[in-house]
Amino acid sequence: MNDQEKYVLSEIIRITGDSKSRTFWIKAIKEIGCSRVEQDLGELKYQTHKEEKRNPGAYLTTLLKERMTSSATAKKPAEKLNTYFEKTQQDLFRHLKPVPIPHDAIGVSENMPAPYSGKNIPWPTFIGPEFFTLSTDKRKSDKIIAQFRSLDGNVTEVPLIRGKISPDSNEEFGIPNIQHWRVLCALQIAWAQKQSGLIKYENRNKICSVTVSAKELAKILGWKNWQHLSKKDLRWLRDKIAKLKAMPYHLLLEALGLKDLKGFGFYLIGDVCLLNKKAKRGEETIFNVSFSSTVSWQLLNRHAVIRAKEMIHIRSELACQIWMYLEPILRTRGEHFIGLKNLVNVLHLPKADWHKYKSDRNRKFERALKELNGQRIADGRKMIVSISKGLYDWQLESRLEGLAIKQLENY
């Protein structure tokens, strides 16, 4: 053993008081390396500080065995979870270009060579929490500032018009809300579960497409009555998918100085067909949905991050928005603090009386965080969220707890 390995071994024995497991400690250090063992040792120190561990050696053994098992069974290196961002801002906006589809062309159905697993949500990197509002927001369109981050450390603020395809458009089509977001997530999970189907055209461009029943979507959404949907349930799903297809966005890019590019209008859903048919009990609806060319390119080129599908089962819409906002920050920083008044502005929440007063903000966010606290992101780590009293306002405190123990190479 080299000096570093000897030091790590001595620290393990000092902290756990378990010299009898020396053989296992050495094996773990050799298999997964000093740095990973030190990470688990740090986790043990943290947990011991929080609460007295009766058997710290057993706790560390469990952590190391999980590491060793994951390392041994991995077929290829796991994708880093911090792939929310493109390498540069130029890459980010260049990759938003639409994919040209030949006029009147008939595509060929295929599957991705290496499809997503369907265990989680494959989420396009460029779609942030700003893209969705609460269902209480009755506005048909608005203009907000969206933040786009890239791996080179730059954060670009870009005006985003929600509900219009162009700034000068007279038509307003509505702003997608959290209910539309849930359905979009369910469609992406269904697409992944069905081998990530696509349509390939003669010019080699591809569009993601899925055929899924209303019952399948309802099951993914966590509806208890998914096997026996009412007419009201079917109508709700049909309307939400149809609205997703009709609701546009427009990014104002002129200030970025990109060559010959002033703005970019796009949708999340490209084409929708449905088939209503009689069933033994009532009706059944089959959807055929194609994602937009912008979303399809992101998914097919794996410019996507995996998100836990449990997100869409969170009842509180506000909790869902907070999750979408916090997760990418926590994955890169590990912790985050923000005043509640500032959080209202960052989330672009529709105006409400409770925004005005500290006590009301505290009460509203406390209620949302009860459902959010302790939820696990896709790699297995827990989000720990709470509210504390700051100097001028109540503030949200958040961090990730535990270790990233899941292999995510197939999403």
Residue type, 168: D
108-165 residue pLDDT tens: 788 888 788 888 999 998 898 999 999 999 999 999 998 876 655 567 788 999 999 9
Average pLDDT in the 51-59 region? 73
Average pLDDT in the 224-247 region? 94
Structure confidence at residue 90 (pLDDT):
55
Q: Give the whole-number percent of the chain exceeding pLDDT 70.
A: 84
28-49 residue pLDDT tens: 888 887 767 877 777 777 666 5
Q: For residues 250 and 160, is the Cβ–Cβ distance under 8 A?
A: yes
CA-wise closest residue to 288 among 170, 199, 348: 199
Ranges 77-91, 312-326, 352-366: which has the least confidence: 77-91
